[in-house]
Structure formats: C-alpha cells, structure tokens
Amino acid sequence: MPLFRPIHHTFAPHVNAGYVLRTLALLLKPWKWREGPERETLRAALARQYDADVSLFASGREALVALFRSLKSPDHAEVIVQAYTCVVVPNAMLAAGMHPVYADVEAETLNLDPADVERRLTPRTRAVICQHTFGIPADTHKLRALCDRYGLLLIEDCAHILPDDQGPATIGKDGDFLLLSFGRDKAISGITGGAILSRRPAVSVQLRAEEGAATALSLFRIKRLLLYPLVYAVARPLYGIGLGKALLILARAIGALVPILTSAEKNGTMSPTLHTLPNACAALALAELHRLKAINDHRRRLTALYLTETYKLQATGYRLSIPKAVHPDLPLQKFPLFVKDAERIRRALKQKNIHLQDGWSGCVICPPGSAMEHECYVPGSDPAAEAAAGQILSLPTHPTMTEKLASELVRELSGILDRQKK
C-alpha cells in the first residue's frame, strides 16, 4: 500500500512549520520584499564565517555569471568543470563568454579526478570549478596545488554543503572563490538566491560593480516565490490521495509557482541579465544559516542511518554499493546508493508514493533532457561520470525527511531488492 505522506527529494525539502511561519510573516510585509536589513546581515555573516568578500544575487547561476564576467578573461577562455553537474553551471560559463571543458569524476567521491583535470588543461584554461557533490568533499588540496602549479583559479561550488563547527573542515578553505546557492533543495534555502565569496580583492571590486548594476526582481515575481512554501505545505500531505498533485498542477497552470529551470535553460541558454537578491529571500536564507548546525546534524543522522542499513543489506547478499568517501559524520545533501536497474527501482518505489527522481539520475548534465550538445559535452568522454549517473539511486536527507520515513524507505527498498534477487 502506498505511503500517505510522500517521500521525496523535491517537494519543498526545507519547508517545515517554522519555514512556513517565516514566509507568512514576510508575505504580510511587502515593503521588505526587495529591500531591508536582512540582506546586509546575511552578507556580514557569510563574510565573517568564510573570511571573504561577499556578493549577493538572485540565484547561484547569476552569481556564477557575475564571477566569470569579473574575471575579465579573453573570449572563449576555458573552465574545467566535472561531468555529472547541473546544467546551470555550463550555462553560466557560456552566458559569460567562457567555454566549459569537462573532466571525469572519481567513483569513490563523485567529484573531480585531479589527474583527469590535468589531462584536460590547455593554454586557454583560466579556472577549475570543483563541486562537492551531494556534500562529499572534493580533494581541494590536490586541486589547489594543481591550480597553483599552472596559475589557475580554483572555484569551490558549495551549493550542496556548508560546513559547521563539526566540519567537514576542508570545505571552503582552499578556493579563491566560493559559490553558494540558496535554492530550494540546497544546503540552506531562501527559495532562491546565491552568493560569490571572493578572496581576490581585484575581482571583489568587479563583483561589487556587477551587483551594483543588477536589477531588482519584480514584486510579482517575489510574491510568486514566497507562495512556493505555502503551496507545497498544503499539497504535500494530500499527495497520497491525488489531491496534492492536482493542486501543484493547478498552481503551475495559473503561474503561482516559479519554475526552478526554464525550457531555455534546459536547452543551454541563460539570460545574461543579473538581479539582486530580494531581501525577503535573504531573510529566509539567514534564518537557515542560523540553524545550519541543526540542519547538518539532521543530515548526519540520516547519513548514518542509511550507511548502517546499506551495510546490513550488503551483508545479506544484496548487490549495491556506496562511494568510499561517504562516512557517518558527513551532512550529505542526499545519500548516493548504486544499484542494478536503478530506474526500474525508482519506478517501483513511485508506486509506493516514494519519489526518488531528483534530476541527477540517468544524465551527466542534469536534469534529464538537458541539451548536452549545447553544453559542449561529448557523450563517452567521461566514462566514470556516465556510469555513476546510470546506476545511482539517491536517498533523501533534507530537513523534512524524518528518521521514521527513512526507515520506511529502506524497508520498501529491501522488499524490491528481495523480488529482484528472486
């Protein structure tokens, strides 16, 4: 029998009762939607935490465009990025006149393979952007040494993880720049928003100019963003009886929800126009930053639970694996499990109201259906990334995923694997 409450990756994963109340309070204060003190408070908090200059924009992808523009590189300068990444990363490079070059990943981390990065370098290479995939730390020490040897910039993509006083200690230490995203399913969420943290003073000046020239989002768009937590808070508990899905379809049809990705972005085109971070979204992100330790500890508990259950399944003969770098102290954004017939298992779980399609399955430029040819990716060029994308079954660790739901997920998964063995 399907679960009444859905298990998911994407149904407002940060939206709990506190998040709804904060959003309702902001909806009642439209004069604080665009401007207010929370944006500068967020900037100051990030600057203190990471010892860097902070520039804020309406999304992580816009922040990345601002950074690439600020580097003042020649046209078509190259940036090394890992295969198995989100389409918005190469889109931002292309929108800024730069060219993505893909390097393969290490199977044990799902992050850049430093040796393959070195093989992909050319005289046009300007920077390397490393992604801490799902919260698994990339080997930034090796990448830092490589960048120093070749005179390159290192950009750390911290969208999936922000460290707290328990770690991971290496995150955010070695990069010339850090990319943060405050999107709906990221380490912390402001519904939208992003930041570039710069440790290069000359580039910081250019970034401040980019932020100063950015335009404000319309009040109507900000209102639509603020409706997102409320719509999902109502729809989520009704999803098991079909009403939740109908409500979401209706909300999208009448324009009450802002899509995470536009059709143009999936096809490799991004607008070069930059927008300022709305103060309302900064307020939500700031509240999450204050709760970072609690959010990360929750993720650690679920990581440890999944890890323990995976070891039990392996011990009883199930054929599944996890990256070797995963350990119980990591606050993973999601738990990566590799299984045979991952897509068939996702379809079977969906019948149980368990929705594990997170956009990172079955594709090296995520989400599925992104126009890889427009992103300059050549199929077959990164075999480890392609193998991982085809076999991954990610398990949720977000703030609204309870330990009880995680145990129910493991139980349903075990039943499917039992039938697969027979």
> Does position 228 have pLDDT exceeding 90, yes or no?
yes
pTM: 0.95
Q: Is the residue at 370 inside a domain?
A: yes
> Does position 418 have pLDDT exceeding 60, yes or no?
yes
Report the pLDDT value the prediction gives residue 68, as an integer from 0 to 100: 97
pLDDT tens figures, 24-60: 999 999 999 999 999 999 999 999 999 999 999 999 9
Percent of the chain at pLDDT exceeding 90: 80
In this structure, are 297 and 181 located in the same domain?
A: no
Asked whether 52 and 44 are in contact (CB, 8 A), the reply is no
Q: Is the residue at 361 inside a domain?
A: yes
Alpha carbon dihedral 308, 417, 385, 169, in 10-degree steps, equals -10
Please state the separation of Cα 180 from the chain's center in Å.
Answer: 9
Report the pLDDT value the prediction gives residue 13, as an integer from 0 to 100: 95
Q: Which amino acid is at 176?
A: D
Asked whether 400 and 14 are in contact (CB, 8 A), the reply is yes
Three-state secondary-structure class, residue 156: strand
Among 343, 312, 333, smallest CA distance to 420 is for 343
The CATH number of whichever domain residue 306 belongs to comes to 3.90.1150.10
* Residue 256 pLDDT level (bands cut at 50, 70, 90): confident
In this structure, are 304 and 181 located in the same domain?
A: no
Q: What average pLDDT does the segment 70-75 reach?
A: 90
Q: Is the residue at 174 inside a domain?
A: yes
113, with CB counted inside 10 A (0-12, 13-18, 19+), is buried
Asked whether 148 and 155 are in contact (CB, 8 A), the reply is no
Report the pLDDT value the prediction gives residue 422, as an integer from 0 to 100: 53
Q: What average pLDDT does the segment 194-221 reach?
A: 98
In this structure, are 201 and 303 located in the same domain?
A: no
Among 290, 386, 237, smallest CA distance to 38 is for 290
Report the pLDDT value the prediction gives residue 337, as an integer from 0 to 100: 96
pLDDT tens figures, 75-118: 889 999 999 999 999 999 999 999 999 999 999 999 999 999 99
239 or 255, higher pLDDT: 255
Give the count of domains, the chain. 2
pLDDT tens figures, 377-405: 999 999 999 999 999 999 999 999 999 99
- The runs of H, that is alpha helices, within 28-150 are 37-50, 60-70, 88-95, 114-120, 140-150
What does the mean pLDDT of the chain come to? 94
> Does position 271 have pLDDT exceeding 70, yes or no?
yes
Q: Are strands 365-366 and 334-339 parallel, antiparallel or unpaired?
A: unpaired
pLDDT tens figures, 103-161: 999 999 999 999 999 999 999 999 999 999 999 999 999 999 999 999 999 999 999 99
> Does position 244 have pLDDT exceeding 90, yes or no?
no
In this structure, are 46 and 133 located in the same domain?
A: yes
Q: What average pLDDT does the segment 284-312 reach?
A: 97
Please state the separation of Cα 21 from the chain's center in Å.
Answer: 24
Last residue of a domain, one of 158, 184, 213: 213
Report the pLDDT value the prediction gives residue 2, as an integer from 0 to 100: 59
Report the pLDDT value the prediction gives residue 231, as an integer from 0 to 100: 92
Report the pLDDT value the prediction gives residue 1, as an integer from 0 to 100: 54
Question: What CA–CA distance (Å, rounded) separates 229 from 23?
Answer: 7
Task: Return the HEC string of 311-324.
Answer: HHHHHCCCCEECCC
Among 132, 165, 127, smallest CA distance to 146 is for 127
68 or 314, higher pLDDT: 68
Structure tokens at 119: 């093989």
The CATH number of whichever domain residue 182 belongs to comes to 3.40.640.10
| Residue-by-residue DSSP string for 195-223 | EEEE--HHHHHHHHHHHHHPBPPPHHHHH
Q: What residues are paired with 393 via a beta bridge?
A: 337
Counted residue by residue, the chain has a size of 422
The residue with tokens 């009444």 is 4
Three-state secondary-structure class, residue 42: helix
Q: Is the residue at 207 inside a domain?
A: yes
Q: Is the residue at 199 inside a domain?
A: yes
Asked whether 207 and 214 are in contact (CB, 8 A), the reply is no
Structure tokens at 210: 């980019």
Report the pLDDT value the prediction gives residue 253, as an integer from 0 to 100: 87
Query: What's the half-sphere exposure (Cβ side, CA atoms, 13 Å) at 369?
Result: 7
In this structure, are 39 and 171 located in the same domain?
A: yes
Report the pLDDT value the prediction gives residue 49, as an integer from 0 to 100: 96
- Segments forming the whole domain that contains residue 407: 292-421
Q: Is the residue at 287 inside a domain?
A: no
Question: What CA–CA distance (Å, rounded) separates 270 from 70?
Answer: 17
Report the pLDDT value the prediction gives residue 317, as an integer from 0 to 100: 83
Report the pLDDT value the prediction gives residue 186, as an integer from 0 to 100: 96
In this structure, are 24 and 165 located in the same domain?
A: yes
pLDDT tens figures, 206-215: 999 999 999 9
In this structure, are 191 and 311 located in the same domain?
A: no
In this structure, are 198 and 297 located in the same domain?
A: no
Q: Is the residue at 349 inside a domain?
A: yes
Structure tokens at 227: 């409706």
Please state the separation of Cα 17 from the chain's center in Å.
Answer: 22
pLDDT tens figures, 315-372: 888 889 999 999 999 999 999 999 989 999 999 999 998 999 999 998 999 999 888 8
Query: What's the half-sphere exposure (Cβ side, CA atoms, 13 Å) at 177?
Result: 28
Structure tokens at 45: 């908090």
Last residue of a domain, one of 213, 232, 258: 213
Report the pLDDT value the prediction gives residue 249, as an integer from 0 to 100: 87
Report the pLDDT value the prediction gives residue 407, as an integer from 0 to 100: 95
Alpha carbon dihedral 310, 311, 314, 320, in 10-degree steps, equals 40
Report the pLDDT value the prediction gives residue 199, as an integer from 0 to 100: 98
In this structure, are 203 and 69 located in the same domain?
A: yes
Structure tokens at 345: 């298992």
In this structure, are 64 and 195 located in the same domain?
A: yes
Last residue of a domain, one of 213, 232, 261: 213
Structure tokens at 364: 């090296």
In this structure, are 55 and 176 located in the same domain?
A: yes
